[in-house]
Amino acid sequence: MPIKIPRLVRDSKTGIFYFRYTLPRHLAAQINQTSIYTSLRTRNNKQARAMAAMLNYGIEMSKPIDLSKVRELLKINIAEGVFEADTEDEQERGLRILEQMASLRQNAAPKPSASPDRIRSAERSPQTAPPQKHTHLMAAIVPGYIKEIESSLKPATVYKHKQTLKLFIDQAGDKLIDSYTKEDLTAFKTQMLNAGRVAHTVNQCLSHIKSFFAFAAGNGYAEVKRNPVDDMFIKNAKNAIKKREMFYDDDLAVIFDWKNYQKLAIKPDYFWGPLICLYSGMRIEEATSLEIADIKEQDGIPFFRVLDAKTPAGNRPVPIHSKLIELGLLDFVKRVQSVPDRENERLFWYLIDGHNGTKKNLSRRFSEYLQKLGVKSDATCFHSLRHTTITRFAGLNVNNSTIYQLTGHAEKGKGNAHFDYLHMLPMPTLKAAIEALDFHERIDFSNFNHRRAFTVF
């Protein structure tokens, strides 16, 4: 039966071993802390026992005990390679030697003589773990954080949070939550910039980490203190974002030329997605996540009820352009309703939520399509359809209030009296603005037939 190693404890949730030093009563009373925990950063039992044995030996040999050197002992041992045995036999022999060394001194160590300043210095050391109630590793807290944000964020956004936290832990290490510093965040930010991430993306990742630390503090996993991500964001990052371009008339003529488009439109979302967005200004995810129940009618006007929107302002009614009806959209809706054993009630029922929602395949396929047509540039993509529509609204003298409501934009300026008092416009007013879109005067849709475009029914 192996010898029990004093002061060696194992975290039941993570399996990681810790070295626990219980402070003498008179010292514990001075700093209001009963123990000091040091992570051994291993789940290997033999390695942890060997490391703890050497730490015990170093502490027992110290007269008086210098609490600030507990972790330093561990660093020295690792630096000398004491525990880095090449084989299991070598590790076993090393363990026996260390246990024998530890057993040489079994008497209690004399009470250390330490001044309050010395104790406070040890307490402030970044290598000293927090009190037992805050001995939580970051990775152990992440699942609870993810579960909480899943109730309010889209799956695609939750996935981004997961990936960011994983990247941060991979680089900074899985440490006690209170032990992360601004140096860890600076290193993470620098690594992302060196990897070619744009400033806006870096800031987005930092916001994910900041949200996590706020959750940890608010739920008692960490001391309530200043968030380590504060003041870490790159200033003016949005100004560096590459602006998307609209499509011009000659681009649209090529994109929606049926001899080209029929090669793209082999699935319902490939056929209808670009058309719906062109004649409404919707975002791609808003179009691909539409449900059959979102095709509604008011005052005799068919409209889309957009609910799965990017912002609260995005929840809105959008009248269906007569050209979409002429091309057979409402007929398509009826055909979808007749599909047996549908897995969901989406208009494009075969799409499933992935890491990027329901839009991934259409977005990628459309970009490939633009590339083949020779109209792709660094500044054009599926989202350029939205730019095209909004620009066309403005060119047709549709007022800003109507454009904002139809496209789901929120007014940027806070406290704007005009927008504070503006309520949803009447459906006929919105319909008139939608009908003003005249792309069909520049595009030949005469050969478009959704019944011949795909065979998924």
**Which strands, in side-by-side order, build the sheet including 301-306?**
295-298, 301-306, 316-319
Token pair belonging to 202: 């870096």
pLDDT at 311: 62
- Given a cut of 70, is residue 129 above it in pLDDT? no
Helix axes 155-172, 199-218, angle to 10 degrees: 90
Per the domain annotation, does 391 fall within a domain? yes
Per the domain annotation, does 3 fall within a domain? no
Task: Output DSSP code: residue 189.
Answer: H
Q: How do residues 207-264 score in pLDDT, each as one tens digit?
A: 999 999 999 999 988 876 789 999 999 987 666 555 678 999 999 999 999 999 999 9
pLDDT at 422: 63
Q: How do residues 27-68 score in pLDDT, each as one tens digit?
A: 667 666 777 777 888 888 888 888 888 888 777 776 555 555
Among the candidates 133, 149, 182, a domain finishes at: 133
Mean pLDDT, residues 168-196 taken together: 91
CATH code for the domain in which residue 354 is found: 1.10.443
Residues linked to residue 18 through DSSP beta bridges, in sequence order:
9, 39
- Given a cut of 90, is residue 381 above it in pLDDT? yes
- Given a cut of 90, is residue 412 above it in pLDDT? no
Least confident residue range of 192-206, 301-315, 360-374, 442-456 = 301-315
Mean pLDDT, residues 362-374 taken together: 95
Give the three-class secondary structure for 350.
coil
- Given a cut of 70, is residue 454 above it in pLDDT? yes
315 shares its domain with 364 = yes
162 shares its domain with 273 = no
Look up the domain containing 256 and give its range.
249-453
272 shares its domain with 414 = yes
Largest Cα–Cα separation, the chain: 96
Higher pLDDT, 122 or 430: 430
303 shares its domain with 448 = yes
Among the candidates 133, 161, 195, a domain finishes at: 133
Amino acid at 307: L
| Banded pLDDT at 358 (limits 50, 70, 90) | confident
Q: How do residues 293-310 score in pLDDT, each as one tens digit?
A: 999 999 999 999 998 655
Would you call the peptide bond into 426 cis, given omega within 30 degrees of 0 as the criterion?
A: no
Q: CA 319 to CA 199: how far, in whole Å?
A: 37
Higher pLDDT, 431 or 356: 431
- Given a cut of 80, is residue 403 above it in pLDDT? yes
Per the domain annotation, does 224 fall within a domain? yes
Question: How many structural domains are present in the chain?
Answer: 3
Token pair belonging to 286: 């808003």
Residue reference for tokens 């352009």: 321
120 shares its domain with 144 = no
Per the domain annotation, does 1 fall within a domain? no
pLDDT at 373: 95
124 shares its domain with 143 = no
Q: CA 130 to CA 178: how far, in whole Å?
A: 7
Q: Are 274 and 252 in contact (CB under 8 A)?
A: no
Give the three-class secondary structure for 203.
helix
Mean pLDDT, residues 281-295 taken together: 94
Q: CA 158 to CA 161: how far, in whole Å?
A: 5
DSSP string, 229-283: TTT-SPTTGGGGSPPPPPPPHHHHHHHT-HHHHHHH-SSHHHHHHHHHHHTT---
289 shares its domain with 421 = yes
Token pair belonging to 114: 């330490």
Q: CA 410 to CA 414: how far, in whole Å?
A: 10
Residue reference for tokens 């975002």: 283
Per the domain annotation, does 142 fall within a domain? yes
Least confident residue range of 179-188, 221-230, 266-275, 399-408 = 221-230
CATH code for the domain in which residue 176 is found: 1.10.150.130
Across the chain, mean pLDDT equals 80
Among the candidates 85, 111, 133, a domain finishes at: 133
170 shares its domain with 84 = no
Q: CA 72 to CA 121: how far, in whole Å?
A: 14
- Given a cut of 90, is residue 122 above it in pLDDT? no
Per the domain annotation, does 2 fall within a domain? no
Residues linked to residue 21 through DSSP beta bridges, in sequence order:
36
Per the domain annotation, does 291 fall within a domain? yes
254 shares its domain with 296 = yes
| Banded pLDDT at 132 (limits 50, 70, 90) | very low
120 shares its domain with 179 = no
294 shares its domain with 386 = yes
270 shares its domain with 394 = yes
Q: Are 288 and 273 in contact (CB under 8 A)?
A: yes
Backbone angles phi, psi at 118, to 5 degrees: -65, -40
Mean pLDDT, residues 349-367 taken together: 82
pLDDT above 70: percentage of residues in the chain = 74
Backbone angles phi, psi at 17, to 5 degrees: -90, 145
Higher pLDDT, 151 or 61: 151
Per the domain annotation, does 25 fall within a domain? yes
